[in-house]
Copies of this chain bind each other. A is one copy, B any other.
Amino acid sequence: MKEQIHRWLEEHREEGVAFLQRLVQERSTQTNEAGVQKLVVQKLEQMGLDIDVWEPDGEELQKHEYFYSPRKEFSGSPNVVGVMKGAGGEGSRSIILNGHIDVVPDGDRAQWDDDPFSGRIVDGKMYGRGVTDMKGGNVSLLLAMEALQGLGVRLKGDVIFQSVIEEESGGAGTLATILRGYRADAALIPEPTNMRIFPKQQGSMWFRVLVKGRSAHGGTRYQGVSAIEKSMVVVQHLLKLEEVRNARVVDPLYAGTPIPIPINVGSIEGGTWPSSVPDLVKLEGRMGVSPEETMEAAKSEMKDWLAKLGDVDPWFKSHPVTLEWFGARWVPGSIDTEHELMKVLVDKFRGVTGTQPIIEASPWGTDGGLLTQVGETPSIVFGPGVTEVAHYPNEYIVLDRVFETAEIIALTLMDWCGAAE
């Protein structure tokens, strides 16, 4: 069967590449997802799946504690789900194949060597915004399903393919699939992992710290207290917290990761006038959350740690910093490393590539966190994209990896869902 799948994929390589190219050429940034979803629906129609297309209900989503998006309205931005109904029977197991169709903006075009939406192919690599994160992975999923169909394989368990919006903005698309009732025995998400297998994914949440100073004229700055200088004490204190938290991470999956759950101070803003001592600085950042802790525990630890700033600098005793949690949040995701889907995937990876997969914990959250914690569907992240170029200019994918991944997934589906005939 492995040989047949391999051959089927070789024979359909041009079609697969052309389809990926068309997906990339659709600039599916936030609010602009309708065009690309139409292409996905056409493909699912050709495949004869049960198709569900809907615009998530902003009002309903907003009531959910794990909802986050900069927008509250999703009209014109449909989710698409296509179900390949299984035959059922003994040993049948369902699976969700989840991929987001939204892409981050292309940013400064001057940094791109070519049109960011060209889908141009050079030396076996296709270039374009979103090709690696993660339209290439989505195409691997579809090719895997098509190959099984093309070879007449009927599975026992349901395969639920999801082309979701909003992953880049907080996961509202996947949350909407869960609220619509989609669950499965496990899930696979082909985010750009360089074909590493991530049974655990770091979660994260955004914090804002306000650091106070006391204003004065710059010419007599000694009469004031610089919130910029005080913010340095705060940044150092946060780095120390990062150290303390990471010393606790002993999971061997993180063995190769210098800082498993980083605290990143991403932006700083303070002071309004060159000639005045700044009396307020705003720090915003991202706190990594380990799959072994709850978001609430991580928040408490940060709060308690910042309350200790007064021991570092007495200024903070009378002028404590303010901590807020805001904006996006990515729930950590995980699957037991001994889970049957892990075993199957690792086995098929070995079979197809002839090498051992790298199994790690991911340094970033994915929609796998929502699937795991809200949808109660344990999730693996594994995909063909190139981690390093996600969100960067000249984003690309190696096309061979797309087909290898499709082959691994097709074989995984047969094993996990069970083959009926």
Residues on the B chain within 8 Å of A362, using CB: 219
The verdict on A364 contacting chain B, using a C-beta distance below 8 Å, is: yes
- Contact partner of A235 among B202, B228, B274, CB < 8 A? B228
The verdict on A271 contacting chain B, using a C-beta distance below 8 Å, is: yes
Within 8 A of B (CB), among A249-273: 258-259, 262, 264-273
Contact yes or no, B259 A222, CB < 8 A: yes
Contact yes or no, B266 A275, CB < 8 A: yes
The verdict on A286 contacting chain B, using a C-beta distance below 8 Å, is: yes
The verdict on A46 contacting chain B, using a C-beta distance below 8 Å, is: no
Residues on the B chain within 8 Å of A363, using CB: 217, 219-220
Contact yes or no, B218 A264, CB < 8 A: yes
The 8 A CB mask of A218-255 against B (1 = contact, 0 = none) is 11111000101101100100000000000000000000
The verdict on A404 contacting chain B, using a C-beta distance below 8 Å, is: no
Shortest beta-carbon distance from A111 to chain B in Å: 11
A interface, how many residues as a size bin?
Answer: 35 or more
A227 — nearest CB in chain B belongs to which residue? B268
> For the complex, what is the distance from the CA of A328 to the CA of B202, rounded to whole Å?
48
Contact yes or no, B278 A226, CB < 8 A: no
A233 — nearest CB in chain B belongs to which residue? B232
Shortest beta-carbon distance from A251 to chain B in Å: 16
Contact yes or no, A218 B285, CB < 8 A: yes
> For the complex, what is the distance from the CA of A269 to the CA of B327, rounded to whole Å?
20
The verdict on A206 contacting chain B, using a C-beta distance below 8 Å, is: yes
Shortest beta-carbon distance from A231 to chain B in Å: 8
Contact flag A364-B269 (CB < 8 Å), given A264-B274, A274-B286, A286-B274? no
Shortest beta-carbon distance from A148 to chain B in Å: 34
Contact yes or no, A262 B206, CB < 8 A: no
Within 8 A of B (CB), among A186-228: 202, 204, 206-207, 217-222, 226, 228
Contact yes or no, B262 A222, CB < 8 A: yes
The verdict on A146 contacting chain B, using a C-beta distance below 8 Å, is: no
Q: Which of A228, A235, A288, A364 has the most CB of B within 10 A?
A: A228
Contact yes or no, B286 A219, CB < 8 A: yes
Shortest beta-carbon distance from A378 to chain B in Å: 21
Shortest beta-carbon distance from A221 to chain B in Å: 5
The verdict on A167 contacting chain B, using a C-beta distance below 8 Å, is: no
A-B contact list, 20 entries, CB within 8 Å = A207-B274, A217-B364, A218-B288, A219-B365, A220-B363, A220-B364, A221-B259, A221-B264, A222-B258, A222-B262, A228-B267, A231-B268, A232-B232, A265-B271, A266-B272, A266-B278, A267-B273, A268-B271, A269-B269, A269-B270
